[in-house]
Amino acid sequence: MAELIDGKAIAAELRGQISTDVEELMAIGVTPGLAVVLVGEDPASRVYVSMKEKACAATGIYSVEHKLSAEVGEAELLELIAELNGDEKIDGILVQLPLPGHIDEAKVLEAISPSKDVDGFHPCNVGRLVTGNPVFQPCTPSGVMKMLEYIGVELKGKDVVIVGRSNIVGKPLALMCLAEHATVTICHSRTVDLPQKVAAADVVIAAVGRPEMIKGDWIKKGAIVIDVGVNRVGEKKLVGDVDFIAASKNAAAITPVPGGVGPMTITMLLYNTLVSAKRRAAKKG
């Protein structure tokens, strides 16, 4: 059976280090600050924002929530972002997605200062990731990379197959793996001979958003499996994009769902906010 990659434990260790670094910054008069903007009453978004606020409080990061009506105008939202861009107490700005249909999501994300874009979605930060000189890396992909590092997986020379091509996970993760000298194949739901491609991988990263799409017998013996997917089946059960039980028979190590990649995403948001605050402290001298 595969070794379980415990995202909760890895995240807890990283958050402990973040807390220590926050204390050191506060000792020189800099408190890392995160502003979260929530538009509307989407239940899932409300839960995510609450989790982020609790994580900030636990690590000593100052957080402020701006809760706006679902009917808020695009101009008003952009005005708020402009104010936060200029607020010296704020090191990171996060606009919780999705946004209501009448708001141009791309315009809003581009309005965030690249130096405070702790989600790593601004085109400037995406471009810097492409060129190998990132400022902020998207939280879920960087969390995956931290997990691989934590369990001692060296990607140099490895065949990595990523199933999923989203701007949030698949594409940036491919760039991060390339930077570590892996050979990367991006697959998706329309890939021909997907089982064969997955079977050739030393590392399989599933982020396609389809319950248990990746079957256990597709996994090569000894492969590492990172399951980014979170899919609700029935009223209460959560499953990943990988058939966990079957894949565990072949994989050397695998992430569970829940308790795998999920805790790492918020942890890397805290990390990015900390990095931004350290840059502010350096400017102060």
Backbone angles phi, psi at 53, to 5 degrees: -65, -40
Distances (CA, A) of 22 to 26, 115, 264, 274: 6, 19, 18, 7
Alpha-carbon gap, residue 121 to 116, rounded angstroms = 11
Three-class secondary structure of residue 186 per DSSP: strand
Amino acid type, 136: F
Active site residues: 52, 96, 119
Q: What is the DSSP letter of 256?
A: -
| Signed CA dihedral, 14, 20, 23, 24: sign only | negative
Distance CA 127, CA 113 (A): 14
